[in-house]
Structure 1
Amino acid sequence: MPRWDPRQYLRHADHRTRPFTDLLARVPALPARGRPARIADLGCGPGNATALLADRWPGAYITGLDNSADMLREAAALAGPAPGGGRLDFAHADLADWVPDEPYDLIVSNAALQWVPGHAAAFAAWTRGLVPGGVLAFQVPGNGDAPSHTLLRELCAERLGPAGRRTNEVLAPAEYLAGLTALGCAVDAWETTYVQVLPGEDPVLDWMKGTTLRPVLTALADDPAATEEFLTTYAARLRTAYPAGPQGTVFPFRRVFVVATTPE
């Protein structure tokens, strides 16, 4: 289980949140009629994206779910009543075995399902947990073949063997569409590559420290010298793959989006 660092994750909050706002822009009106909408945010992390749900649906009852105690401690500061009469809460859950415990109008996830091997197999239970006309919406990174990730896999194989290795089972948009259509949903699936410009020294390494590097950093946590050696080598390779320019370091990042609506 990787150890998460909320503050490191939030160092690039603007870039990490932008795909979520683009996802929410495609979510249709929720079916809640005469009652507060019920929303679950799977893999809520430090809660900064979950708070955007309260901005969009101020009267909703929203629960952010995560399996990291560190992330949930950071998110706890955001819990409480929403200005529009709704409420924002956070709770521990493991997405590998989570199933809805009540009917939801919206189940949403921001860059979390890539950590759950075989997550598409859970879609049947999750869509059954939606009210008629309810929505399952998520976005996941689709950059597993980018140099940032291929170089990391190569270095892990050289230095760590199985330690630090992670599974990335993100599907193509068409595969998500086919699977959710087979469950009776109307599906909107697409992909976007964000041409991110990151400032500072070794910014791609800094980005990776917030997410993909967490299993490696956890595996090496008891060996500071090995951690420093690994990061120094990885940083050098990233600088070659992503050279700094006058405007900063260009870091293309592909994302996969899905909005699935159950029948009324």
Structure 2
Amino acid sequence: MALDSHAKNAPEHVAIIMDGNGRWAQSRGKPRLFGHHAGARRVREVVEACPDLGVKYLTIFAFSTENWKRTQVEVAGLMSLFRRYITKEARALKDEGVRVRFIGDRVRLDHKLQTLMDELEQLTEHNDRVHLTIALNYGGRDEVARATKRLAQDVAAGKVDPETVDGETLARYLDTHVLPDPDLVIRTSGEARISNFLLWQSAYAEYEFIDTMWPDFSAEVFGNVIAGYCKRDRRYGGVRA
């Protein structure tokens, strides 16, 4: 599934809004959590496909700051799934050269989950084959608000000259400050909205909204989306001479 002919045009960083788990399950007469478990299993296939597709960075939207509005049963089930996923996949991720990072506000997450997140980041910190970033209790507006607060604190403490503050300054305070901006954002399940995901970072990203539900998002589907991206002409606000 390698895209040798398009390798030079492949996106370095792909971000995915993994949507449709619940509807996928309900269409099969199953509870929504059945779909979330199926979606979690799909993550590994997509991560493993990245090197052949020329993708170095993959960011996935696992749980948003707005997802707390869901039923208590679904939220509790998702938190249990996250803990189980980290425990089960940690060694494989390390052995496969995947570096894992988490972005989002961890304060509201339970202590056990926070500990597992810290341990997985430490376990994989020297890996460099694929950089997997998991957005957990993440929201773009919340991220910018938290970054602005930290920047304001440094200005007040005299660590930053307010006259020098610009977009690059604020970007250094974002959760993603060590990552390149995404080249391509994919949303599955037929919905055509960005849902508060990587608002700052995606200013010039290409978007692809596809009908495939996340549990059906195979490596083959991923490869087809990447192949389509490679044919796009990115101008970043300019025009070709």
Q: Please report the TM-score for the alignment, with normalisation by the length of structure 2.
A: 0.32
User: Quick check: which one's helix share is greater?
Assistant: 2
Q: Please report the TM-score for the alignment, with normalisation by the length of structure 1.
A: 0.30
**Which of 1 and 2 has higher RCO (CA within 8 Å, sep 6+)?**
2
